[in-house]
Amino acid sequence: MRVPLSWLRDYVDLEQSPDWIARRLTLLGMEVKGIEHRGLEWRNVVVGELLSVERHPRADRLSLTRVTTGSGEPLEIVCGATNIAAGDRVPVALPGAVLPGDRRIERTEKMGVVSNGMLCSGDELQLTADADGIMILPADTPLGVPLAGLYGDVVLDVDVKPNRGDALSIVGLAREIAAVTGTSVRFPDSTVTEAGRPTPERLRVDVEDPTLCSRFVGRWVEDVRVGPSPASVQMRLIAAGVRPVSNVVDASNYVMVELGKPIHIFDAAAVHDGRIVVRLARPGERLVTLDHVDRELHPETLLIADAAGPLGIAGVMGGAESEVSDATRNVVVESAIFDPISIRRTAFRYGLRSEASLRFEKGQEHRLARIGADRTARLVAEWAGGTVAPGVVDTHPAEPPPARVAFRPARVNRLLGTALAPAEQAAVLERVGLAIEAGGAGDDPTTAGSGAGVNVRVAAGERPLVVEADPADVLVAVVPTWRRDIEIEADIAEEVARIHGYDLVPSTLPSTSMPPFRSSPLELRDGLRRALVGAGLREVVTHALVAPASLDRVRWREPVDVADGETEARGTPIAVTNPLSADHSVLRQSLVASLLDIVASNARRGRPDVAIFEVGKGYGRVGQTTSEWWRLALALWGPLDQPAWNRPARDADLDDAKGLVALVAGYLGLGEPSYTPVPSEPSLHPGRAAEVRAIDGTGATGLAGRIGELHPSLVEAWDVRGRVIVAELSVRGLTAGQLPVPRAVAPSRQPDVERDVAVVVTEDRPSGELEMVIRASAGPLLRHVRLFDVYRGAPLAAEERSLAFRLRFAAADRTLIEAEVEAAMAAVVRALETAGGRLRS
């Protein structure tokens, strides 16, 4: 809310600087987000008096004026406006002046006459809405003084929280300030001079459902003359961010800003027979609203209507037909209280949230309905002339009693960690208008317990909780009617802290008992992240919300295994029903496409290489059940070995990614990963794609997923050159696991025995398969197998290759004898030959 300080000072004595006021409001919970100094942007604009106004010698539409600013020679200024006459005092922008919008005024020649500056309209100064004529200042305005000194103002931008609708007004904020300065608030004058036929004889209001409109106060003002508001009123409204419309409409807006009470004013001529009905819309009903949109009305819409049909949407927007216009003579002032939820829903439904609906949503003080009606009628009569008809129509004149909230001062201290005596707490609360009574005082039915105690409301709303306390331990706060936010004991505690000052709450460290140890679900994830960073990869964090097209681009078609205990990637994608943009409208199911976006965006910026990973989630639903699964994904592109003067660049390939997978497996204490070709995964190169799996000592899957080179058509789709290697892995413990603790054994003192074997096979035989053959046949002494060479060429046939493996044998307890190793090797060779291999000598 924009709060002009000049307006605030109407209701509370406030000598302090804007910075002081801003800080105090912030410390009261009314956070000041900004301080605007209006008028600072006017430089060299002063008050002048027109000595003469003559026709421009060469242009009929222009005037030549002589202006004095009190001292020096009179200035000749050319002016296009027609509302000026000699003797008027006006704002004069002297040469060198700067107006809002950084508009610079210089000495210029206009049709052969030198103009020494400019006479300003209210609009040019952004003071009033009047752009047609020069702004005429009061005749007693002192000559020559800078305009900023007269009309400059400071406007605070105050963030009023949703629970404090009462402070969404100048008077409300004045009350807050008065609480800390110890002064009192001057309430706006709402007395009216009445004459003529009484309102109840001209106007009748029927409310069909009082739960939707708890009070409707109507007033009748006759014989108004619609026109612009006084300049001072326009200045205030503009400073507060409200566009001036006309004296009648401005009166309603003025009251809304001042008191926080939204008001609507109808042209009385549009209200048939002076009979208003507040009712829900009927099926098929339509209304052209003030914004000239013809709307079909939803049956839950609360209407202000007459016998002929809707006049306006209650609390949200009036109808065009009953709008106040220049021709309006008589007006009906509506000051009503509507159901907050109904207004909120209606405003959302029509996309018409306004300053008025915002205030209705937060609830309104009952008594403001009458005050608002009177104050508006008074201002209409003051600014637009007219006669206020005697009396009001009022559907619910009885004021409800103020709320009484019992609280235990000891409990307030226990919540806050303070040691404030009950009397001290009472004194603090009284500063904001709460009256404090002793517990059990009088026969107070709202707080009387079933026994001798006083009922203290600990919780309200959907889960109410009331406890009965000893009257001696209780005080009862009588809450001012505007404070609709104070309902339970904890609200009182907050009010005590707020007014006493949060800076006076002590700073202590908890002395309560410690919870038991609990291992962190982040442990394994964090460990893996650090291991991959150690291997030179950069971690990225990408959006979980992606484009539907991105979802389709990389989607594993073949079922992908998951590590033990991890969540399967399954189900259909989950879409956002109100997305910000199509680019971020569904939850991803794989991380790979997101990483490819990052590869592409960095490549576009000229980055030669990208090696990244992300630990993130995929999402899906099966029926009404949602699931979220953690995955580790990586992408490699460009030279993994960065070029240097002492090393050529080397592009990342599948083997690099496999090395990283092996690093992960090793870090988690798993065995060497094994790979199975996956030729039919559409996102991947059919000849360079594999399913990877690594198992632990018990045979459980510790890591599983897809690894491969991105399909060339996708590389092209992402507009990247070269090859991109990707992997997406499910890792046991990624969801909430701990790092496995390695079992350590003393290294054998016996030397290992190494033997090599080279086997010739056709190209279609995977190396992994032969390695399995070796492992299966070598017997219990085998410790390790490693492919160390691949050979193609003479004397091998064209479709053949030779795979050379190095086997390491050892026994923990003894030195191996030659015959044992030879026997194992013979078994390996036989098995390889059975498997279709030929020994290469």
Partner 1 sequence: MDLAQLTGDLEDLRSEAMAQAAAAPDSAALEALEIELLGKRGRLTAVLRGIGALPAEDRPRVGAVANTVREGIEAAIRHRGKSLRGGELDARLARERVDVTTPGRPIRRGSLHPSLEAMADIAAIFAQFGFVVVESPEIEDDRTNFQMLNIPPDHPARDLWDTLYVDLPGHLLRTHTSPGQIRVMQSMAPPIRVLLPGRCFRYEAVDASHGFEFFQVEGLMVDEGTTLADLKGLLDQFAHAMFGAGKRTRFRPGYYPFTEPSVAFDVECLVCGGPGCAACGRTGWLTILGAGMVHPVVLQYGGLDPERYQGFAFGMGPERISMLKHGITDLRLFMENDLRFLGQFR
Residues 262-291, interacting with partner 1 (CB under 8 A):
none
Single residue of 189, 223, 628, 756 touching partner 1 by CB under 8 A: 628
Residue number with CB closer to partner 1 (19 or 558): 19
Q: Which of 101-109, 276-284, 510-518, 793-801 is the region at the interface with partner 1 (rule: CB under 8 A)?
A: 510-518
By rule CB under 8 A, what string of x and - marks binding of each residue 449-478 to partner 1?
---------xxxxxx-x-x-----------
Q: Minimum distance from CB of 471 to partner 1 (Å)?
A: 18
Single residue of 225, 530, 814, 830 touching partner 1 by CB under 8 A: 530
Q: DSSP letter for 583, please.
A: G
On the CB side of 310, CA atoms within 13 Å amount to 28
The torsion angle over the Cα atoms of residues 525, 530, 536 and 539, rounded to 10 degrees, is 50
Number of residues lying near partner 1 (CB under 8 A): 107
Residue number with CB closer to partner 1 (29 or 80): 29
User: Does 145 help bind partner 1 (rule: CB under 8 A)?
Assistant: no
User: Does 576 help bind partner 1 (rule: CB under 8 A)?
Assistant: yes
Q: What does the DSSP assignment read for 434-474?
A: -EEEETT-S--TTTB-SSSSEEEEEE-TTS-EEEEE-GGG-
Residue number with CB closer to partner 1 (131 or 580): 580
User: Does 214 help bind partner 1 (rule: CB under 8 A)?
Assistant: no
The letter for the amino acid at 371 is I
The torsion angles phi and psi of 612, rounded to 5 degrees, stand at -135, 160
Q: Report the C-alpha gap between 562 and 732 in whole angstroms.
A: 8
Token pair of 616 as six digits? 């993130």
| DSSP collapsed to 3 states, 378-414 | HHHHHHHCCEECCCCEECCCCCCCCCEEEECHHHHHH
User: Does 608 help bind partner 1 (rule: CB under 8 A)?
Assistant: no
Interaction residues for partner 1, span 396-435 (CB under 8 A): 414-418
User: Does 82 help bind partner 1 (rule: CB under 8 A)?
Assistant: no
Residue 521: asked if its preceding bond is cis (omega within 30°), the reply is no
The letter for the amino acid at 729 is L
Q: Minimum distance from CB of 180 to partner 1 (Å)?
A: 12
* Cβ atoms of 309 and 303 closer than 8 Å: no
Residue number with CB closer to partner 1 (164 or 375): 164
Interaction residues for partner 1, span 18-77 (CB under 8 A): 22-23, 26-29, 31, 33-35
Residue number with CB closer to partner 1 (141 or 413): 413
Q: Which of 36-44, 192-200, 399-407, 523-531 is the region at the interface with partner 1 (rule: CB under 8 A)?
A: 523-531
* Cβ atoms of 265 and 334 closer than 8 Å: yes
Q: Report the C-alpha gap between 790 and 758 in whole angstroms.
A: 9
Q: Minimum distance from CB of 543 to partner 1 (Å)?
A: 5
Q: Report the C-alpha gap between 774 and 782 in whole angstroms.
A: 9
Residue number with CB closer to partner 1 (176 or 306): 176
Residue number with CB closer to partner 1 (273 or 628): 628
Q: Minimum distance from CB of 529 to partner 1 (Å)?
A: 6
Q: Minimum distance from CB of 407 to partner 1 (Å)?
A: 12
Single residue of 71, 450, 624, 841 touching partner 1 by CB under 8 A: 624
Interaction residues for partner 1, span 724-743 (CB under 8 A): 736
Q: Which of 302-310, 610-618, 749-757, 794-802 is the region at the interface with partner 1 (rule: CB under 8 A)?
A: 610-618
Interaction residues for partner 1, span 641-700 (CB under 8 A): 642, 644-647
Q: Report the C-alpha gap between 395 and 329 in whole angstroms.
A: 25
The torsion angles phi and psi of 364, rounded to 5 degrees, stand at -125, 145
Q: Which of 96-104, 162-170, 264-272, 286-294 is the region at the interface with partner 1 (rule: CB under 8 A)?
A: 162-170
* Cβ atoms of 58 and 112 closer than 8 Å: yes
Q: Report the C-alpha gap between 187 and 255 in whole angstroms.
A: 12
User: Does 298 help bind partner 1 (rule: CB under 8 A)?
Assistant: no
The DSSP element (H or E) to which 176 belongs, if any, is helix 170-181
Residue number with CB closer to partner 1 (195 or 576): 576
Q: Report the C-alpha gap between 787 and 756 in whole angstroms.
A: 10
Residue number with CB closer to partner 1 (59 or 739): 739
Q: Report the C-alpha gap between 727 and 692 in whole angstroms.
A: 9
Q: What does the DSSP assignment read for 216-272?
A: EEEEEEES----PPPHHHHHHHHHTT-----HHHHHHHHHHHHHS---EEEEGGGSG
Q: Minimum distance from CB of 585 to partner 1 (Å)?
A: 9
Single residue of 239, 265, 493, 634 touching partner 1 by CB under 8 A: 493
The torsion angle over the Cα atoms of residues 761, 765, 768 and 774, rounded to 10 degrees, is -40
The letter for the amino acid at 725 is I
Q: Minimum distance from CB of 589 to partner 1 (Å)?
A: 13
User: Does 17 help bind partner 1 (rule: CB under 8 A)?
Assistant: no
Residue number with CB closer to partner 1 (88 or 485): 485
Q: Minimum distance from CB of 461 to partner 1 (Å)?
A: 6
Residue number with CB closer to partner 1 (61 or 605): 605
Residue number with CB closer to partner 1 (81 or 736): 736
Interaction residues for partner 1, span 535-574 (CB under 8 A): 535-545, 574
